[in-house]
Structure 1
Amino acid sequence: MKKYFTMDDFNFRGKVVLVRVDVNSPIDPISGSILDYSRFEAHRQTLAELKDSKVVILAHQSRPGKMDFTSLRAHADIFTKILHKRVRFVPDLFGEYAIEEIENMKCGDYILLQNTRFYSEEYCLKKNNFKDTHIVRELSKVADYFINDAFAAAHRQQTTLVGFAEKLPMIAGRLMEKEIKMLTKFMELKDRPKYAILGGAKVEDSLIVAKNFLENDIVDAILTGGVIASIFLIAYGIDVGDGTWEFIKREFDDYNSLISLAKELLDKYKGRIKIPVDVVINKNGRRKGIPITMLPSEYPIYDIGLDTATEYETMLRNSKGVIVNGPMGVFELNDFFVGTVMVLRGAAESSGFKVAGGGHTIAALEKYGLKNYFDHISTGGGSLITFLSGGKMPVIEALEKSYNIFGSK
């Protein structure tokens, strides 16, 4: 049963359309130039389809106190290049200047308003008070529709993300629609075997996702790599050695609770969490593979070993569903990329439904030319983790709320 509006439900020709995107991007601290255009590209289809409308783009960059917390003037220039259509920057969000600029727009015009996080109302003072902010009140007066395409921020409850749901029909943009459909498809896929590859250094996130996947029988097994694998090795009773322990203690204040949760999952779901049988240590910058029986080591673990990578690769090649979130090791260094490549290659060669997400995962897929072998590459970071862990997604809830309010109209 349909739960939210999509762009197919409306004719936007001649209408004023607010479009919330997420183009929060890395910025060179010296030159101030934007270093990665991928998030801009992700919104191309949504914005291009509105070429006969009056398009008012809302977006944020970073947060107060950060070095890259800046105006969106440069972002407007990137959108201009991406769309081959001038996107004019307006250094105001909901004041008289912004409202006048919107009222003077012609069909086919695009403007980008100021960084939404420049305004305290973006972080609403009272819970569920978003619709009463000046931002929502003023902009909803001059707009016909609100399209939310900011999946990467869908786990946030902020004014320009959820506040328009009761004032205007809130509609999923093409990117938002695709993300929800493809991730839901993976979660509900009945074909087996089905695996999740969890790697990288975001240990708490990976543990929460693993818990949800196993509790709800979403996957048959979790394949671990990176720092999360080291946590599971410790939880299994393996002394990984000072080299790896020093990193864990430095990076995670709550490492004891993380290890306790990992042990709880290992005990409860015996055989369904795969941990490495061998690892690669960084011995003075050089690769050295050892079985876990040779641990502890004074050198840090930098990759899964060849035996582990071969086992994972074989499992994935025969899978009917795979989701990848995180690399198997420090793939950026030439001596420690093998585990990541083998695992990604195994997933890519599967005939099943394949999803990948996370910044480092996408970087690895691009580096090794495997991106096009996946059915879906998610733009989400925290939002992807929240979705996969079954957490609260305020933007999706707002889409459903708006559908209930305006659907009958």
Structure 2
Amino acid sequence: MAKLSPDFFTMDDFDLEEKTVYLRLDINSPINPITGEIIGISRFLSHTETISTLRHSKVVLVGHQSRPGKDDFTTLEHHSRQLQRIIGRKITFVDELYSSSARGAISSMAEGEIIMLENSRFYSEETDIPGDDIERMEQSNFVKRLEPLFDYFVIDAFPAIHRSQTSLVGFHRLKPNIAGKLVEKEVIMLDRFRFGKENPKFAILAGSKIDDSIKVSRSFLDLDTVTGIITGGVVGNIFLWASGKDIGKKNRDFIMKNNKNHESLLEICRNILRDHPGKIIMPMDAVLSPSGKRVSMDDKIPDDETIADIGLETIAKYSEIIESAGAIFMNGPMGIYEIPEYSVGTREVITALASSDALKIAGGGHTLSALEHLGLMKRMDHASTGGGALISYLSGEPMPVLEALRESKRIFKGKVNGK
């Protein structure tokens, strides 16, 4: 079994009081295109423990919002105000990243002060340097002008750990880079699901993002991470289609329209079903829209109907499996849960999950939204902040930020004064 303790520096390894600390957050959030208002505060909340731990430090916050060319690519000024309201401490916003005024503000900080710098992706040195060119990052103005001002670099941007960008990895060979509380918790909890002894172990993969779910399904089963995978939503539909079920023209068209690579995804699903017989657990019945009819998946689905939810037989089967589990990971709703008449499957599966004694980990925006709506978030052992990073990590892909943190520990272990 893989080691569950982190192999990088954590905040418990150093005395950070009175030190000047660079804190890389991920507060990238949905933005109302009309009002510019930030929608949702979950990512802000995820960093409060790290910020609280640094209450006696001089803290400089670095983050990003969206990327060039997107409508929500904007300043972090509103983000600084939002975070200030959440933590109840003053945050001074500086609309520069490494200008003389920004450096002057950092140099004149007192213990307990917090500064937030401008959106790092406003600068080409963040977005244009190849991820494998650490030397070029180290020679950038971004790194050369900021690195001398800091004692430590705390990286807490878990949703971005699959990105190799200057603000995330560019300093790791120059000063100790430390995992923040969020990154530490995410890695420990996700590794506990991947490598822990709890059995049987199931993943619930549903929703409409089939590419990610298929990738995780293959990885989980090839590596024998899980006993089985429960499917729903469009994820369930593509596996049903791959298994030879007639899911109806409207459902096939949805998959084809939203996935240009649908033919290759279908082939991957067929291979998974062939290589891991009985491991992909698919809906046995469904609720259709607009008719509201309940049908068996052994029947041909009418071409003008959408599979909108799992049926009662499937709910009963899935609930039984969940009750037997020792560990469960859930990502994605069972159907069009936003519409009340098609929310039963998602509600019942989440309720069964919340009632389980298993290790319970949830991820994905729709899953967390449903948990919050049902008031069951606190029943989870862990709610992951990651999107693409979560899928990539669970799939066993290399994580550039974690690799940088590990290398930083190898470089600076024994060379710095810890606690």
- After TM superposition, the structure 1 = structure 2 runs for residues 248-267 of structure 1, keeping only pairs within 5 Å, are 248-267=255-274
Q: Give the partner amino acid of 1:21.
A: L
For the 8 Å contact 1:148–1:176, the answer to whether it is kept is yes
RMSD of aligned Cα (Å):
1.1
Of 317, 321, 326, the match for 1:315: 321
1:221 aligned to which of 223, 228, 232: 228
Match of 2:57 in 1: 53
The equivalent residue for 1:335 is 341
Q: Residues 145-187 of structure 1, C-alpha deviation per residue, up to 9 Å, x if partnerless?
A: 0000000111111110111111111001111110010001110
**Per-residue Cα deviation, 1:228-265 (whole angstroms, up to 9, x for no partner):** 11100110001111121221121111111111100000
State the match for 1:176 in structure 2: 183
Whether the 8 Å contact between 1:232 and 1:275 is mirrored in structure 2 is yes
Pairing partner for 2:375 from 363, 369, 379: 369
Give how far 1:81 is off.
0.7
Structure 2 counterpart of 1:210 = 217
Alignment of 1:18-37 (within 5 A): 18-37=22-41
What is the rounded CA distance, in whole Å, between the counterparts of 1:354 and 1:321 in structure 2? 6
Q: Distance in 1 between matches of 2:17 and 2:356?
A: 43
Aligned partner of residue 79 in structure 2, secondary structure = helix
1:400 to 383, 396, 406: 406
CA contact (8 A) 1:310 1:342 kept: no
Taking the aligned partners of 1:287 and 1:59, their CA distance within structure 2 comes to: 45
Answering whether residue 52 of structure 2 is matched by residue 62 of structure 1, we say no
Correspondence 1:267-282 to 2 at 5 A:
267-282=274-289
Measure, in 2, the Cα distance between the counterparts of 1:304 and 1:88. Answer: 49
Q: Give the C-alpha shift of residue 124 in structure 1.
A: 4.1
SS in structure 2 at match of 1:28? coil
1:12 is matched with 16
Structure 2 residue aligned with 1:287: 292
Tell me whether 1:119 sits opposite 2:123 in the alignment: yes
Deviates more, 1:129-138 or 1:86-95: 129-138
Q: Does 1:103 align with 2:107?
A: yes
Alpha-carbon distance in 2 for matches of 1:92, 1:237: 57
1:324 corresponds in structure 2 to 330
TM-score (norm 1): 0.98
In structure 2, how many angstroms separate the alpha carbons of the residues matched to 1:109 and 1:219? 46
Match of 1:192 among 199, 202, 210: 199
Q: Which range is displaced more, 9-18 or 241-250? A: 241-250
Cα shift readout 1:169-206 (whole Å, capped 9, x = no counterpart): 10011111100100011101222111000001111110
User: Alignment partner of 1:330: what SS?
Assistant: coil
- What is the one-letter code of the residue matched to 1:7? M
Aligned-residue offset at 1:2:
5.1
Q: How far does residue 113 in structure 1 lie from its aligned partner after superposition?
A: 0.2
- 2:305 equivalent to 1:297: no
The one-character-per-residue Cα deviations of 1:7-49 (angstroms, maximum 9, x if unpaired) are: 1111111111000000001111111111111111110110111
Structure 2 unaligned residues grouped into runs of 5+ = none
1:245-303: CA deviation from partner (whole Å, max 9, x where unpaired):
221121111111111100000011001110111111102xx522100122231201111
CA distance in 2, matches of 1:276, 1:327: 13
Aligned equivalents of 1:2 and 1:65: distance in 2? 37
Q: Secondary structure at the match of 2:293?
A: strand
Identity across aligned pairs (percent)?
43
Deviation at 1:131, TM superposition (A): 2.1
SS of 1:146's equivalent in the other structure is strand
Contact map agreement 1:124 1:130 (CA 8 A) in 2: no
- Between the aligned partners of 2:192 and 2:370, the Cα distance in structure 1 is 24
The match for 1:231 among 238, 243, 246 is: 238
Q: Which residue of 2 aligns with 1:167?
A: 174
Match of 2:351 among 334, 345, 348: 345
Q: Which amino acid aligns with 1:74?
A: H
Residue of structure 1 equivalent to 2:388: 382
Q: How many equivalent pairs are there?
A: 407
Question: How far 1:344 sits from its partner (Å)?
Answer: 1.2
- For residues 70-101 of structure 1, the C-alpha deviation after alignment (integer angstroms, 9 at most, x for no partner) is 00111110111111111010011011111111
8 Å CA contact 1:281, 1:289 repeated in 2:
yes
CA contact 2:8–2:409 (8 Å) conserved in 1:
yes
How far apart, CA to CA, are the structure 1 residues paired with 2:137 and 2:282? Answer: 45
Superposition deviation, residue 369 in structure 1 = 1.6
Deviation beyond 6 Å, 4+ runs, structure 1: none
SS at the partner of 2:298? helix
User: Secondary structure in 2 aligned to 1:186?
Assistant: helix
| One-letter amino acid matched to 1:183 | L
Q: Which stretch shifts more, 107-116 or 297-306?
A: 297-306
Kindly indicate whether the alpha-carbon contact (under 8 Å) linking 1:124 and 1:159 is maintained by their aligned counterparts in 2: no
The amino acid across from 1:88 in the alignment is: T
SS in structure 1 at match of 2:336: coil
CA distance in 2, matches of 1:24, 1:372: 23
Q: Which residue of 1 aligns with 2:361?
A: 355
